[in-house]
Amino acid sequence: MDTTSSGNHHREHAEHNEEVYNYLRQNLDYIDWVITCAFYTALHYIEYKIFPCEIIIGGKKQQIGSIEEYHNFWGGRSTHASRIKAVKEKLPACRRSYEQLHNLCMTARY
């Protein structure tokens, strides 16, 4: 897997989402979309920062290149749940804010 191009994809997608977020937040008539764009901006920045990473399984280091690979190792209800676990482990300073934004997005969307 070419993790460099994957990382660049996440960075570029995050930057694009951030532009949309900045545009939408000028008019709060669509606050649900402002929140959704903020969350997906954060999601892509998170994946850009975390992956690739190493985890230890059975005493051996394992290279993980994406949230899908991480989810396959750790399971969980969803890739969103696995991403929250990855944030907790790899970017603990961001955990609380990311979880709050995730919850706001789920409320706004549904």
The predicted-structure confidence for 13-30, as pLDDT tens digits, reads as follows 999 999 999 999 999 899
Q: What is the count of structural domains for the chain?
A: 1
pLDDT for position 91: 97
CA distance 29 to 46: 27
Q: Quick one: tokens of 51? A: 């992956």
CB atoms within 10 A of CB 67: 19
Which residue, 32, 34, 36, 54, is CA-closest to 44? 36
pLDDT grade, residue 57 (50/70/90)?
confident
pTM assigned to the model: 0.87
User: What span, in angstroms and rounded, lies between the C-alpha atoms of 63 and 60?
Assistant: 10
pLDDT at position 2 over 60: no
Tell me which residue range forms the domain holding 44.
3-109
